[in-house]
Amino acid sequence: MTGLKRKLQEKGKTPYWLSKQLDVTPNTAYNWAEGRTAPRDNMKVQISKLLNVSIEELFFSDNGGGKS
């Protein structure tokens, strides 16, 4: 599970919610949450502010490496 997906779940938010906050397509936010694609740096900053967590927690930490 990606850090972004984990933090969204912890905060009771969804990729759809994230897409509306950032004015991107739901598919884009879903792909970020699943780790299929990565947001640009400016979006990473916005996401970290929205979720009140560090960029490192969202995009550079791995919780065991396996899919769940």
Residue in 13, 1, 53, 61 with CA at minimum distance from that of residue 44: 53
pLDDT above 70 (res 67):
no
Q: Note the pLDDT tens digit of each residue in 28-63.
A: 999 999 999 999 999 999 999 999 999 999 988 665
Length of the chain: 68
CB burial of residue 43 (10 Å; 0-12, 13-18, 19+):
middle
Q: What is the mean pLDDT of residues 11-36?
A: 97
Give me the pLDDT at residue 48, please.
Answer: 97
Reported as a pLDDT band with limits 50, 70 and 90, residue 1 is: confident
How far is the C-alpha of 5 from the C-alpha of 35, rounded, in Å? 9
User: Does the structure show a pLDDT above 50 at 8?
Assistant: yes
pLDDT at 23: 98
